[in-house]
């Protein structure tokens, strides 16, 4: 049964809380619900009513990014070239995780705080598996490389691109794209002869 819509003032307070959390995440500051309440100018009980844990608030902040990745992957599935579809999706996913600090901890969490984020992550994994399967079936990706192999490699690409905190967001994005291109060259099968 869907939740009842929030009153206007409750919806406004919820959005203020999410906006403060987004700023904290973007600044690399851990989410502490009491601090969020102070910065959003709402009561602590209001924050806890909407978000019982910092993880629930972080997952709420990350939700639009996860939904955008799912939409991108689903569009990629409709493409004509399985290699281009897989490559484009992995580039989009890497760029999103490098740009949005809320995504990495949500993807890495062993347990989700919100059932909604579990459903989204499962869908994202399903579509990613389909993209890889299509590239395998077309003979364009090494059949020995699995989704289980690629996930830590993508994490490695993101980590390598972000370890230098002194670099700008643009530098991190360029580095991630370069590292992912190198990784994908290792995944791609050699062209078949005539």
| CATH number of the domain that residue 139 is part of | 1.10.357.10
Q: Cα-flanking dihedrals φ and ψ of residue 141, to 5°?
A: -125, 145
Which one has a higher pLDDT value, 18 or 7?
A: 18
Q: Find the CATH number of the domain harbouring 2.
A: 1.10.10.60
Band of residue 75 on the pLDDT scale cut at 50, 70, 90: very high
Q: Is the pLDDT of residue 192 over 60?
A: no
How many domains does the chain divide into? 2
> Mean pLDDT for the chain?
89
User: Hey, which residues does 188 pair with through a beta bridge?
Assistant: 141
Q: What is the pTM of this model?
A: 0.86
pLDDT, tens digit (0-9, with 9 covering 90-100), for 39-70: 999 999 999 999 999 999 999 999 999 999 99
State whether the Cα torsion 50-56-62-64 is positive or negative: negative
Q: Is residue 86 part of a domain?
A: yes
- Written as six digits, the tokens of 35 are 């601090």
**Mean pLDDT in residue range 134-163:** 89
**Mean pLDDT in residue range 76-90:** 94
Q: The domain containing residue 48 runs over which residues?
A: 1-52
Are 166 and 172 in contact by the 8 Å Cβ rule? The answer is: no
Are 72 and 89 in contact by the 8 Å Cβ rule? The answer is: yes
């Amino acid at each position: 049964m869907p939740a009842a819509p929030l009153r206007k003032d409750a919806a406004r307070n919820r959005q203020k809380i999410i906006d403060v959390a987004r700023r904290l995440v973007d600044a690399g500051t851990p989410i502490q619900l009491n601090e969020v309440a102070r910065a959003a100018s709402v009561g602590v009980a209001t924050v806890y009513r909407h978000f019982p844990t910092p993880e629930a608030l972080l997952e709420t902040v990350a939700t639009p990014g996860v939904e955008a990745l799912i939409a991108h992957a689903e569009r990629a599935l409709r493409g004509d070239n399985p290699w281009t579809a897989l490559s484009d999706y992995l580039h989009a996913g890497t760029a999103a995780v490098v740009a949005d600090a809320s995504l990495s901890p949500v993807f890495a969490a062993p347990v989700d705080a919100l059932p909604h984020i579990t459903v989204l992550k499962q869908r994202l994994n399903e579509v990613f598996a389909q993209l890889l399967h299509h590239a395998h079936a077309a003979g364009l990706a090494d059949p020995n490389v699995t989704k289980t192999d690629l996930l830590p490699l993508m994490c490695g690409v993101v980590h390598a691109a972000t370890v230098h905190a002194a670099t700008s967001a643009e530098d991190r994005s360029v580095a991630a794209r370069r590292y992912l291109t190198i990784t994908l060259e290792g995944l791609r099968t050699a062209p078949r002869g005539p």
